[in-house]
Structure 1
C-alpha cells in the first residue's frame, strides 16, 4: 500500500519536477535570485561587520608591505639556503642590509630631495613668468594667453577675508578630528613595528603555508587548490618582484642621465620616476612629464637633452631590462591592464592602482581553475565537435563565392553527410 502511494505521489509531482525544478534555465535564475537575496541581506546587516573592517584596516598595511618585501627577498633567502647558509642567518643579514640601505637613503637622498624641492618652490615665480612669455609669444595660442591672464586675475581677486571665514569651519572640524589623525599615525607606527616581525616569519617559514592550507582542504579538491595557490603565488611574485626591480633600474638610469646633462632637480625627478614606474604603462608616461616641463623651461637645448635621455632609457628598459626581469609572466593584454588601473584606481585609490593588476591576476587564476573543474564535472562539454580550421573556412567561403558550375562540381566531389563528420 505504501509503495502504491509513493508511486502515485511521484507521478503527481513529475510535471512540477520536469517543467520547473529540472529546468536548467529556471534553476540558474533561482540561483541568481538567491545570490542577490544574500547580497541584500549582507547589506542590511553590514553594520555588524564594522569590527571586522577595523581589523582589516589595522592589518592591511603591515601584512601587504610584509608580503611585498617577502616576494622581493625570498629568492635571495632560498638561494643562500641552497648554498648551505642557515635561513635565520640569511634573514638577519638581509635585515642588516635593509637597515643600512634605509640609513643611506635618509642621510644622502632625503637632504638632496628636500633642497631640490625647496629650490623648485623658490623658482616658481620665474617659471610662471617663463610660461606667461611662452604663451604670449606663441604664434598660434588659440586664446590661451587671455585664458591664462583671466585665471591669474581671478586668483588676484580672491577675498582673503572671506576665504578665512570659509576655512574656519574646516579648521574646527580638522581640530575636532585630531583624534583620527593621531589614530592614523599610531596605526602607521604600529605597522612599522610589526612589519619586521611578520617579514621574519614569512622568510623563515613561508614555505609551510601551502601545506598548512591544504591540510584543511578535502582530498578531492586538493589538486585544484594546489594549482590555484601555485599559479597565484607565481603570478604575484613575478609581478611584484619584476615591477620593483624595473622601477629601481629606471630610477638609477634616469638619475645617471639627468646628472650627466645637468638637469635641475635631477635626483628628485629620478626618484619620482622610480616610484611612478611601479604603476604599469601609466606610471612611466606620467613620470616623464615633469622632466620635459623643467627641460622646456630651462632652455630648448636642455629639452633636447632630456628627450635623448628618455629615448636611451626607454630603449634599454624595453630591449634588455623588462624582457629579462618581467618577461611575459602575467599574459595580460595592455588594454586590459589600462582598464584594470582605471577601475581599481577609481574604487580603491592609490592602493588599487598598485595592487589592481596582481589582484586581477589572482582572480583570473581562481576563475580559470573553477571553470576547468566545472568542465571536468559537467556534461555540457561532452560534445565531440571540433571547429574547422581557418583555412577550411576560407576554402568553404571561396566555394560559395565561385560560379554555380564550379560549386556544383565541388559539391558533387565533396558530399558531406552527418555520417561522414568525425
Structure 2
C-alpha cells in the first residue's frame, strides 16, 4: 500500500509542476503568445486527427498524410480568404461608424431616462449603469477593431500554426514515445492507458465544439441576412467564435448582433434576440447532447467557476482551454484511482 501512495504522490507532483509551467506561460507575455499558438495548433490538430488516422489506415505514410491535410486546409483557407476578404473589408469599413452609432444610441437613451438631481440614489444608480455600459461598448469596439487590424499577428499565426500542426500529426507516435520514456517502466502501461482515455475524450469534445460552432455560425448568418442586418458575416463569425465557450459564449456572441440590430430598429433587435435564443436552445438541448455524447460531464456551477478562473488567467483563450484542461485533470484523477487501487 505504501508503494501505491508513493505513486499517487509522484503523479500529484508531476501535475503540480505542469500547472506551474502553465502559470508561468500565462504570466510572462512572450510565453503567453507561445501558449496561445500551441493551443490553437492543438485544437486544429484534433480536428484533423480523424482524417489523418483514416489516411494512415489506407496505407498513406504518416508524414505524407499530415502534409496532405495541412495543404488541404491551407487551400481551403486561401480560397475562403480570396472569396470572403473583399466582402469582409467592405463590412469592416463601416464597422467603426456603426460602433459610434451604438454609442450615440446609448447616450440618447441615458439622457432621455436620466432622473432629476433630486433623486439622489436613483441618479447615482443610473449614472453608474450608464458609465458601465459606456465602458463596455468602448472596450468592445476597441478590441474588435484592433483585432481586425492586427494582420501581422494573423499572418504569423497563418505561417507557424500549420507547421506546428504538421509536426503534431506526423510525429505523434514519436512524441508519445518520448513522453512515456519520462516515466518508470512499470508505470508506462498505466500512463499509456490514461493518455488514450484523455485522447479519446478530448478528441470528441474538440470536434463536437467545432461542428456546433460551424452550425451556429451558418444559421446566424442566414438569420441576419433574412432580417437584413448590417455586417452579417462579421456578426455570425463572432457568434460562432464565442459559441466555443460554454454558457457565457452564446450571450457574448449574441450581444453585438443585437446592438447592431437596435441601430436599425428596436423591433429588429428583439427579433434577433428571439431567433438567436431559439438557435441556442436547439443547439444546446437537441444537437449538443447528440454530438458531444456527454464527452465532458461536469456540473454547470463547476464549469462556470472554471470559466471565471480561465478568463482571469488568460482571457478568451483561457475560457476556451480551461474546460478541456479540467476534464484532463478529472480523467487523470479517476484513472489513477482505478489503476492504482
TM-score (norm 1): 0.60
Whether 1:347 and 2:284 are equivalent positions in the alignment is: no
Q: 1:168-225: CA deviations, max 9, x gaps?
A: xxxxxxxxxxxxxxxxx99987765443333223323424543444355434323321
What SS class does the counterpart of residue 331 from structure 1 fall into?
Answer: coil
Question: Please, what is the CA RMSD of the aligned residues?
Answer: 4.1
User: Could you say if the C-alpha distance between residues 372 and 56 of structure 1 is closer, same or farther in structure 2, counting changes exceeding 3 Å?
Assistant: farther
Contact 2:44-2:165 within 8 A present in 1 as well: yes
Contact 1:113-1:267 within 8 A present in 2 as well: yes
Whether 1:100 and 2:75 are equivalent positions in the alignment is: yes
Structure 1 Cα separation of the partners of residues 268 and 155 of structure 2: 43
Aligned twin of 2:249: 283
1:222 counterpart (181, 188, 213):
188
Q: 1:40-79: CA deviations, max 9, x gaps?
A: xxx9xx9xx99xx899667535443332221010101222
Contact 2:205-2:296 within 8 A present in 1 as well: yes
Aligned twin of 1:120: 95
Q: 1:93-130: CA deviations, max 9, x gaps?
A: 32232222222333233333333233232245544444
Structure 1 Cα separation of the partners of residues 81 and 73 of structure 2: 12
Which has the larger displacement, 126-135 or 75-84?
A: 126-135
Contact 1:210-1:229 within 8 A present in 2 as well: no
Contact 1:88-1:204 within 8 A present in 2 as well: yes
1:109 counterpart (84, 87, 90):
84
| Paired residues for 1:368-387 under 5 Å | 368-372=334-338, 376=341
Shift of 1:320: 4.0
Structure 2 Cα separation of the partners of residues 297 and 96 of structure 1: 42
Which has the larger displacement, 74-83 or 244-253?
A: 74-83
Q: 1:211-269: CA deviations, max 9, x gaps?
A: 44435543432332122211222232222222222222211110111111111222111
Shift of 1:273: 0.8
Of structures 1 and 2, the one with the larger relative CO (CA 8 A, separation 6+) is 2
Greater Rg, structure 1 or structure 2?
A: 1
Structure 2 Cα separation of the partners of residues 147 and 210 of structure 1: 57
Aligned twin of 1:332: 298
Give ranges in structure 1 of 5+ residues lacking alignment.
1-30, 152-184, 377-422
Give ranges in structure 2 of 5+ residues lacking alignment.
1-8, 117-121, 132-150
Whether 1:147 and 2:122 are equivalent positions in the alignment is: no
Structure 1 Cα separation of the partners of residues 308 and 66 of structure 2: 37
Structure 1 Cα separation of the partners of residues 124 and 224 of structure 2: 31
1:310 counterpart (269, 272, 276):
276
Contact 1:258-1:309 within 8 A present in 2 as well: no
User: Could you say if the C-alpha distance between residues 120 and 329 of structure 1 is closer, same or farther in structure 2, counting changes exceeding 3 Å?
Assistant: same
Aligned twin of 1:204: 170
Structure 1 Cα separation of the partners of residues 152 and 264 of structure 2: 43
Structure 2 Cα separation of the partners of residues 267 and 188 of structure 1: 18
| Paired residues for 1:370-409 under 5 Å | 370-372=336-338, 376=341
1:250 counterpart (204, 213, 216):
216
2:326 counterpart (346, 360, 364):
360
Whether 1:82 and 2:48 are equivalent positions in the alignment is: no
Shift of 1:286: 1.0
User: Could you say if the C-alpha distance between residues 260 and 84 of structure 1 is closer, same or farther in structure 2, counting changes exceeding 3 Å?
Assistant: farther
User: Could you say if the C-alpha distance between residues 186 and 133 of structure 1 is closer, same or farther in structure 2, counting changes exceeding 3 Å?
Assistant: closer
Structure 2 Cα separation of the partners of residues 55 and 147 of structure 1: 39
User: Could you say if the C-alpha distance between residues 143 and 98 of structure 1 is closer, same or farther in structure 2, counting changes exceeding 3 Å?
Assistant: same
Aligned twin of 1:403: none
Structure 2 Cα separation of the partners of residues 316 and 350 of structure 1: 24
1:269 counterpart (218, 235, 240):
235
User: Could you say if the C-alpha distance between residues 365 and 122 of structure 1 is closer, same or farther in structure 2, counting changes exceeding 3 Å?
Assistant: same
